[in-house]
Amino acid sequence: MDTDIDTSRMKRAIYPMPGDVRAALEKRDVMDVYRARPAYQQNDYVGWIGRARLPATRAKRISQMLDELERGGVYMKMAWRA
């Protein structure tokens, strides 16, 4: 998470944004879409990606996040309405 995101109401651990995730969001031009999501979703994506043990798993999770952001209406393979 970045300091410009309001996490004051979150009770779970707050995860810092890794450089590779930031680069992937910027490369696919979905940073604004990511920022439009609620803080808990941003944090969940970063935490979920960060818990990957293998580089291949991490890459797969980043890819899933980017695809969901581009497609819209999906969060962690669940339907989501903005």
Residue-range domain boundaries for the chain: 19-79
Q: What is the DSSP letter of 78?
A: E
pLDDT in tens, 47-68: 999 999 999 999 999 999 999 9
Q: What pLDDT is recorded for position 21?
A: 97
Number of H helices, E strands in the chain: 4, 2
Taking the CA atoms of 23, 2, 74 and 48 in sequence, report the sign of the dihedral they define.
positive
Helix (H) or strand (E) holding 59: helix 55-71
pLDDT in tens, 12-34: 788 899 999 999 999 999 999 99
